[in-house]
């Protein structure tokens, strides 16, 4: 690290600005899923009472996760105890730390709250939200967020953060009012499978940027290939899967897997203000030789076919026409997981100073080969890929393939 210092100047709970109901709210099946009982960390970089006002609407987030009436069925107790909030000051500008481009020039522990028991006597997995605002000498600030996945998915978390921005800009209520309605998500009697064993993979951290024009050209190629439209996510994920498979240099018959989560809001016709988890996995697998022997456009076909199957598989899950846990995952080096942050809404948050320069997760683990796709930081135009999906021995070939036809 470069020797810059971050000092916390205040910390403690922020409670709803007005009285809220005292009740225990059940969580949906997908909210209760064991792997969602954890805090997702993210960082939101900007060139700033609103929190408490937003919590008056999203009051369950000011509560605590407790065990429900049935074993293994956690719920949220609306206690109005508040969220952990810290303010900090850095002795440098955002430019000094390269706008927190990777590798970080400040420890992430200085930017995201990790209070000890003496300051926050709540178990992390029972805490719903922690937030830290760090001000820099240039006038910019970074919001470090830890959000419990059991309470909301990425779109729901972004809905809350946008509501904080609405209140900060002087609105009397959020533009999108929250609704709970967790009973609208299916509650089948399917038991979650056992937690998977996590390998240690020692993955490289790679950042890649793709201009909008480049992705638009790939989408036009797919339209010419199939007569159908596809998304930038589709073409970028197809390129990722093929380039990674080539870099791994596997046996031709080796099975390679790709997984990402898709929203089911449209399938359930959920209200716009619904902020609970409303996701379902899209999975596909193929022999390495098929992924490598196909054109990029043919790999896009495979991805779109899996997306089309998702609706059928979701309703089979909802109607208990299967006893298999669709959320059960396999974490090995042949499998890759892709997360799309580009349309969640974090990049549109405005506290009165305009949208963030960058908003994205602080994830860098050594047990899940994963990629996050999100908007490139300003002033860049296009899409950024944060990849922790190959080991050092495979990273050079992977990067070469991903950059092969970039302008």
In a domain, 194, yes or no: no
In a domain, 168, yes or no: yes
The helix/strand/coil state of 140 is coil
Q: Phi and psi of 246, rounded to 5°? A: -65, -40
- Both 229 and 367 in a single domain? yes
- Both 161 and 242 in a single domain? no
Structure tokens at 226: 């199939």
- Both 118 and 267 in a single domain? no
Which active-site residues does the annotation give?
149, 350
- Both 152 and 270 in a single domain? no
Q: In which residue are the tokens 């995952």 written?
A: 329
In a domain, 189, yes or no: no
- Both 55 and 99 in a single domain? yes
- Both 172 and 33 in a single domain? yes
On whether the CB atoms of residues 167 and 47 are closer than 8 A, the answer is no
In a domain, 276, yes or no: yes
- Both 249 and 154 in a single domain? no
pTM equals 0.91
Of 160, 178, 196, which residue is a domain's last?
178
The string of pLDDT tens digits covering residues 27-79 is 999 999 887 877 787 877 655 588 999 999 999 999 999 988 887 789 999 99
The string of pLDDT tens digits covering residues 83-113 is 999 999 999 999 999 998 888 899 989 999 8
- Both 288 and 154 in a single domain? no
- Both 34 and 97 in a single domain? yes
List the domain range (segments joined by +) for residue 93.
6-178
Total domains, the chain? 2
In a domain, 1, yes or no: no
State the pLDDT at residue 46: 54
- Both 76 and 167 in a single domain? yes
Of 135, 160, 178, which residue is a domain's last?
178
In a domain, 94, yes or no: yes
State the pLDDT at residue 45: 60
On whether the CB atoms of residues 15 and 52 are closer than 8 A, the answer is yes
What string of pLDDT tens digits covers the 407 residues of the chain? 557 999 998 888 889 999 999 999 989 999 998 878 777 878 776 555 889 999 999 999 999 999 888 877 899 999 999 999 999 999 999 999 999 888 889 998 999 988 877 777 777 778 899 999 999 999 999 999 999 999 999 999 999 999 999 999 999 999 999 999 999 999 999 888 887 777 788 899 999 999 999 999 999 999 999 999 999 999 999 999 999 999 999 999 999 999 999 999 999 999 999 999 999 999 999 999 999 999 999 999 999 999 999 999 999 999 999 989 999 988 899 999 999 999 999 889 888 888 888 888 876 667 889 999 999 988 889 999 999 999 999 999 999 999 999 88
In a domain, 197, yes or no: no
Residue 128's CATH number: 3.30.559.10
Instruction: Give the count of alpha carbons within 13 A of 261, CB side only.
Output: 22
- Helices 232-248 and 392-403 cross at an angle (nearest 10°) of 140
Q: How remote is the C-alpha of 320 from its chain's centroid? A: 28
In a domain, 253, yes or no: yes
HEC readout, 248-278: HCCCCCCEEEEEEEEECHHHHCCCCCECCCC
- Both 140 and 279 in a single domain? no
Q: How far is CA 84 from CA 68, 119, 147, 281, in A?
A: 23, 9, 11, 31
- Both 162 and 261 in a single domain? no
Q: Which residues in 232-381 belong to E strands, given as ranges?
A: 255-263, 279-287, 335-340, 358-361, 370-375
């Amino acid at each position: 690290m470069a020797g810059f210092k971050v000092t916390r100047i205040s910390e403690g709970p922020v409670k709803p600005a007005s009285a809220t109901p005292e009740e225990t709210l059940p969580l949906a099946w997908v909210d209760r899923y064991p792997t969602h009982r954890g805090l997702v960390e993210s960082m939101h970089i900007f060139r700033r009472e609103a929190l408490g006002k937003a919590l008056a609407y999203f009051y369950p987030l000011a509560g605590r996760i407790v065990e429900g009436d049935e074993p293994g069925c956690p719920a949220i107790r609306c206690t109005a105890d508040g969220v952990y909030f810290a303010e900090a000051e850095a002795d440098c500008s955002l430019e000094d730390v390269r706008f927190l481009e990777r590798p970080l020039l400040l420890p992430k522990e200085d930017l995201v709250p990790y209070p000890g028991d003496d300051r926050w006597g709540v178990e992390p997995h029972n805490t719903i939200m922690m937030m830290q605002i760090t001000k820099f000498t240039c006038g910019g600030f970074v919001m470090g967020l830890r959000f419990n996945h059991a309470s909301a998915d990425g779109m729901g978390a972004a809905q809350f953060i946008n509501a904080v921005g609405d209140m900060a800009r002087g609105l009397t209520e959020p533009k999108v009012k929250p609704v709970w309605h967790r009973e609208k998500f299916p509650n089948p009697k399917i038991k979650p499978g056992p937690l998977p064993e996590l390998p240690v993979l020692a993955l490289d951290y790679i950042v890649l940027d793709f201009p909008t024009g480049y992705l638009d050209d790939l989408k036009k190629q797919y339209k010419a290939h199939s007569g159908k439209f596809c998304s930038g996510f589709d073409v970028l994920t197809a390129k990722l899967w093929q380039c990674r498979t080539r870099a791994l240099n596997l046996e031709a018959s080796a099975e390679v897997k790709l997984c990402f989560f898709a929203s089911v809001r449209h399938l359930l016709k959920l209200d716009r203000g619904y902020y609970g988890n409303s996701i379902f996995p899209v999975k596909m697998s193929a022999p390495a030789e098929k992924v490598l022997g196909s054109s990029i456009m043919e790999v896009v076909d495979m991805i779109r076919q899996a997306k089309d199957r998702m609706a059928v598989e979701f309703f089979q899950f909802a109607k208990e026409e299967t006893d298999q846990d669709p959320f059960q995952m396999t974490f090995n080096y042949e499998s890759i997981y892709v997360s799309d942050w580009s349309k969640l809404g974090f990049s549109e948050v405005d506290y009165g100073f305009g949208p963030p320069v960058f908003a994205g997760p602080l994830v860098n683990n050594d047990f899940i080969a994963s990629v996050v796709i999100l908007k490139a930081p300003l002033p860049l135009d296009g899409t950024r890929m944060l990849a922790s999906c190959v080991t050092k021995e495979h990273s050079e070939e992977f990067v070469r393939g991903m950059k092969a036809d970039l302008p």
